[in-house]
Chain A
Amino acid sequence: MAIEKILKDDASEEKGERARMASFVGAIAITDLVKTTLGPKGMDKILQSTGRGNEVTVTNDGATILKSLHIDNPAAKVLIDISKVQDDEVGDGTTSVVVLAGELLREAEKLVAAKIHPMTIISGYRMAAECARNALLQRVVDNKENAEKFKSDLMKIAMTTLSSKILSQDKEHFAQLAVDAVMRLKGSTNLEAIQIIKKPGGSLKDSFLDEGFILDKKIGLGQPKRIENAKILVANTAMDTDKVKIYGARVCVDSMSKVAEIEGAEKEKMREKVKKILGHGINCFVNRQLIYNFPEELFADAGILAIEHADFDGIERLALVTGGEIASTFDNPESVKLGHCKLIEEIMIGEDKLIHFSGVEMGQACTIVLRGASHHVLDEAERSLHDALCVLSQTVNDTRVLLGGGWPEMVMAKEVDELARKTPGKKSHAIEAFSRALVAIPTIIADNAGLDSADLVAKLRAEHHKEGCNAGIDVISGSVGDMAELGISEAFKVKQAVLLSATEAAEMILRVDEIITCAPRKREDRM
């Protein structure tokens, strides 16, 4: 009797060497895909969606690229997952984490081919990762105490992050924007408070940070276009037909005159509500929901600026900047906290009219207005800026800073090599392999920049043999340079996350010796 079929039809099973090969191939393919985007001279990718309109995205952000891929290989999915997590957790280094994990697997493949058991490789990798982390910890610079220096650190980090993106031409400008925006947050990581408005037109250089708050709305008809010393009531209430919500009530009448009466009563109710709102002594009213013509007219009569249909985030931000509270009932005007700002006016950016609140009380929130030639540029600029903002806000909390440009990798590689020499047994091969995987990152950066990577990395290694060296790859001049002088820095938190999650992912994939793929769920054919 032949061996019974155990799994369902269409389900497949890969075992041992084949399973391992499948995951190596998948993971390395993904790595090779994003590899070319690494570093300041990395190239971009065009992504075309399969959805309606075949939208096109041009990006260099690892997480965005990987998110849009349709992958069937399970090991590749693991890599995509770590990239996503990296994006959520620290915001930057999404490409590096995948590349490092891929390189670790590439090295592991060689070791497996040389008949070293995956478990031995894993324990070697673990030791190496721990050692690498300690090496970084010893070399971090913490400028927490010195505000001036810390700010320049932030500036450097922002510039380094931005240098690999589309914004690299104006990186100083944008780095300044990002640092200013993050400093205003005062340690909170709530990036919601930083609003990014994209307006096509002009050039990237025209982008600016606005200290106040810009709401992408129009001012109602016949209402003042400019208010000084505004008192703002931020509300979330129905200003269309204020329905009676109780007891499933409905209107049921027997004559036209009654309808008119009730309509009158409804109007009266609205009028009363508006009156109550006016009772707060305000001159600007912002509502999250629609404002119908009738109340809008009432507001206009009273000379009050009424803004309708501000989205939820807008409301929250506005409440945050003006220091008001979001109100939904209006019976106790004395206890509602109103928001204040010096000046509300309508401004023009490009062709659009926006409402600008300036001189706000609480300076936490701010708005960055991005200008650029096309939507694609703006989208990519927003992603890049988002990366920079994420990294900066994380750095404000964890102020440890490292040098960039392949410097941390070389430092780690050196320490890990030392460890390999001291470790007896097969593990030492794995540790050595880890250091090779680390060196691969500066190699790729150099390759992407069209430099002679073999020569450069060898020089770099020699430089790093000296104590306290700051050497890294200077892509601009194409040589080994002093990273401290060039002002290329990276956040410790990002590097640490890259190191740890890449090792974790590689370990996870290495441990697998069997892949069982279930039959894909049958889709109902609705055609």
Chain B
Amino acid sequence: MALAFDEYGRPFIILKEQEQKTRLSGLEAQKANISAGRAVSRILRTSLGPKGMDKMLQSPDGDVTITNDGATILEQMDVDNQIAKLMVELSRSQDYEIGDGTTGVVVMAGALLEQAERLLERGIHPIRIAEGYEMASRIAVEHLERIAQKFDFGPTNIEPLVQTCMTTLSSKIVNRCKRALAEISVKAVLSVADLERKDVNLDLIKVEGKVGGKLEDTELIYGITVDKDMSHPQMPKQIEDAKIAILTCPFEPPKPKTKHKVDIDTVEKFQTLRQQEQKYFDDMVQKCKDVGATLVICQWGFDDEANHLLMHQNLPAVRWVGGVELELIAIATGGRIVPRFQELTPEKLGRAGLVREKSFGTTKDKMLYIEHCANSRAVTIFIRGGNKMMIEETKRSIHDALCVARNLIRNNFIVYGGGAAEISCSIAVEAAADKYPGVEQYAIRAFADALDAVPVALAENSGLQPIETLSAVNSQQIKENNPHFGIDCNDVGTNDMCEQNVFETLIGKQQQILLATQVVKMILKIDDVISPSDY
């Protein structure tokens, strides 16, 4: 196969060491790829929806993660297959772009691949299938826009946002107190959001977790928490109306970066150096005091002498604060990060209404709360929970909820969840399919079938009869021409997602369909897989 002949009839080798490589080509390659892609999506399928199950992942180091977030599962899985890696990438890009629906997108791609396999068996060319999928995805996205509803919210009316976040959270382990967490997420996003520009900088929301307590104790702090305590045990634990000097220079003797040495050869020099050193410490502390700072936050460590001088001057200080936290503190308090003592001025100080130290549990665990900041636009979500895995999973869930809230602020159109949007799209695509002449028609129809995979998986996971339920909802949608009907996962008694308040963001859904189609197209176009065989 990989052997060709030149014009004189001599053979030459195209593929080096060919006998050591395995090679799949044509239909076989496509089928192998499809089955790999489907295998990945099968893993995630059971995690979909409010009754979805979790996966337990053990890392190479033996740490255990329990999650049902698609992106996390795939990331932690030791995937070796190239096509499977593509699916992992797919879920990750959904995570980066939208933050939610990472499971759904993989399930969708898996369904598309499954349908494609059938078409391939019928002898339809993969490129035609890909083109058909492309057209169908365009129809679906347009249809989504049509059925999407604009919904209004404002700083005072956050209820719709909370409802949408609750939909996201309901599939996580934290659904016990989804209401509280959704409210926290929405409030956090709103407090950092720039409603005029419709932009949200999620970096301003810090999600911190500490093991212990219970999930209900999770709180939103309008300020920053730092996992540090005061440098000197006897400094005051609470400061009101703090003026904060944010320093990136250590309270230590200077060490010039250039190579240098100071030679001491006489007693006088020794004396002067000593005095200089003492003065230096005094100066440092005095400068902080002079500009009126009442709290010093420093990125580096303190010398014992400096520490005591600070204590002595009644100037509480925190040392070894990380760079990211330092920046957040600077943003929150409106201060400037000062790299040199000489550059300290009163204007560069940050302001905070209250700084306090809080201790937890029986171990000596302390955290510093900086609250009532001048610029209230940095917030912290402080999570408590029974164990480490719970905290990690809550962090991921909150991240999803934050992303959803952000997406709504960027684009306030919603579609209905519970599979309603997919079913409605499927109907629309099915109807549109008949208008296309040519082989693509089959591909478009297959796309419509694939769209049904999400509601089917939802129904399966909820313990309902998948086919019966789906066909019932399908006919109901067509009969009443109402795209609000979905799968009643929680056994509430109504199929109307509008009544159940199950919403998803429009851009999230659109992105899911587009991304899944793209990846499937890419996989379909591969017709030759060359890989080094095992030794």
Cβ–Cβ contact B270 & A511, under 8 A: no
A29 CB to nearest B CB, Å: 16
B252 → chain A closest CB, angstroms: 8
Among the listed stretches B53-61, B194-202, B396-404, B502-510, which one makes contact with chain A, having 4 or more residues with CB under 8 Å of it?
B53-61
Q: Which residues of A contact B23 (CB under 8 A)?
A: none
Q: Which of A149-157, A319-327, A363-371, A463-471 contacts B (4 or more CB under 8 A)?
A: A319-327
Q: For the complex, is A300 an interface residue (Cβ under 8 Å from B)?
A: no
Nearest CB in chain A: distance from B302 CB, A: 10
Min CB–CB distance B118 → chain A (angstroms):
16
Chain B contacts of A236 at CB under 8 A?
304, 307-308
Check if A422 is an interface residue, CB within 8 A of chain B: no
0 or 1 for each of B67-79: is its CB under 8 Å from A? (1 = yes): 0100001001111
Q: How far is the CB of A497 from chain B (nearest CB, A)?
A: 8
State the majority secondary structure of interface residues on B. mixed
A505–B387 touching, CB < 8 Å = yes
Compute how far the CA of A515 lies from the CA of B232 in the bound complex, rounded to whole angstroms.
Answer: 47
Is B212 engaged at the interface, CB distance under 8 Å to the other chain? yes
A516 with B55: CB separation less than 8 A: yes
Given A247-B262, A508-B390, answer yes or no on A519-B312 (Cβ-Cβ < 8 Å). Answer: no
Scan B363-377; emit 1 where CB is below 8 A from any A CB, else 0.
Answer: 111000000000000
Interface assignment of B25: CB less than 8 Å from any CB of chain A: no
Contacts A1-B31, A244-B273; A512 near B56 (Cβ below 8 A):
yes
B side interface size, CB within 8 A? 88
Please tell me which one of the listed residues A3, A126, A520 contacts residue B60 in the complex, with CB atoms under 8 A apart: A520
Question: Is the beta-carbon distance between B260 and A88 smaller than 8 angstroms?
Answer: no
Q: How big is the A interface, by class?
A: 35 or more
Complex Cα–Cα for A295 and B415 (A): 79
> Are B273 and A81 in touch, CB under 8 angstroms?
no
CA distance A3 to B33 in the complex (A): 9
Q: Are B389 and A247 neighbours in the complex by a CB distance under 8 Å?
A: no
Q: Is the CB of A253 within 8 A of B387?
A: no
From residue A45, how far is it (CB to closest CB) to chain B in Å? Answer: 23
A259: nearest residue on chain B (CB-CB)? B265
Nearest A-chain residue to B263, judged by Cβ = A252
Docked complex Cα distance between A266 and B277 (Å): 15
Q: Is the CB of A88 within 8 A of B80?
A: no
- In the complex, B280 has a CB within 8 A of chain A: yes
> Are B277 and A329 in contact (CB-based, < 8 A)?
no
Closest CB-CB distance, A492 to chain B, in whole Å? 14
* A394 x B56 contact (CB < 8 A): no
Q: Which residue of A lies closest to B53 (CB)?
A: A513
Please encode chain B, from 331 to 364, with 1 for each CB lying within 8 Å of some chain A CB and 0 for all others: 0000000000000000000000000000111111
CB pair B78–A7 under 8 Å, yes or no, is: yes
Contact A91 B362 (CB under 8 A): yes
The 7 closest A-B pairs by CB, nearest first: A328-B308, A513-B53, A252-B263, A521-B60, A501-B386, A511-B54, A89-B212
B→A interface (CB under 8 Å): 24, 28, 31-32, 35-36, 39-40, 43, 46, 51, 53-62, 64, 66, 68, 73, 76-81, 83-84, 173, 176, 211-215, 232-234, 252-256, 260-267, 270-271, 273-274, 276-278, 280-281, 303-309, 311-312, 359-365, 385-390, 463
16 contacts between A and B (CB under 8 A): A1-B31, A1-B32, A3-B36, A19-B56, A238-B304, A247-B273, A265-B270, A326-B234, A327-B308, A328-B304, A329-B308, A329-B312, A331-B278, A505-B386, A512-B54, A516-B77
